[in-house]
A = this chain, B = another copy of it.
Amino acid sequence: MSGQGNEASHALAELKAKVDGEPIASLLEMHLLELSQGHAKVTMKLVPEYQNFNGLIFGGIIMAVADQAFAYASNSLTHPSIASQFNIHFLAGASIGDELTAECWVLKSGRRVGISEMTVTNQKGKIIAKATGTTIPMARLNH
């Protein structure tokens, strides 16, 4: 148990050292707002560049901000962890100018597999999307 705690502390410290200057965060202007063991909060402002052919916000952008919170939260406990699966439900539309917040909580962080859930809300607290995902810890087989 304390071994797991030490490992998670180590994972969190390693992750924090890598966050600055992350290329995809710059490209999509995603900002890490909170990071602790098993939890992360990321924000993203919706700009006109995110529109699809229907003039709506591209679904992949909503997935991206959820995935960013997912990556941070899962790597805060076991690092590196790789996403193996991700499922998302879209509950409400989002519009240009909205400020989205994606939050991820790790539900299970096992030796072989991790399971997380995410929520994406807008600036009014309305739920835009809910997601879940599976991560695989990558260091385990080498120990």
What is the interface of chain A, defined by CB distance below 8 A to chain B? 15, 18-19, 22-28, 48-54, 56, 58-61, 63-68, 70-71, 75, 80, 82-92, 107-108, 111-113, 115, 117, 127, 130, 132, 134, 136, 138, 140-141
Contacts and interface: CB of A to CB of B under 8 A. Distances in A.
A18 B63 contact: no
16 contacts: A18-B54, A22-B53, A23-B51, A24-B61, A53-B71, A59-B70, A59-B86, A60-B64, A64-B64, A84-B115, A85-B85, A87-B87, A87-B88, A113-B136, A117-B130, A134-B134
A67 B71 contact: no
A111 to B, nearest CB: 6
A67 B138 CA distance: 27
A58 B25 CA distance: 10
A128 to B, nearest CB: 11
A140 B115 contact: no
A48 B87 CA distance: 26
Given A18-B54, A91-B108, A112-B138, 20 more contacts: A23-B50, A23-B51, A24-B50, A25-B53, A26-B49, A27-B49, A27-B50, A58-B68, A59-B86, A60-B63, A60-B65, A60-B66, A61-B64, A84-B90, A84-B134, A87-B88, A89-B107, A91-B107, A113-B136, A115-B130
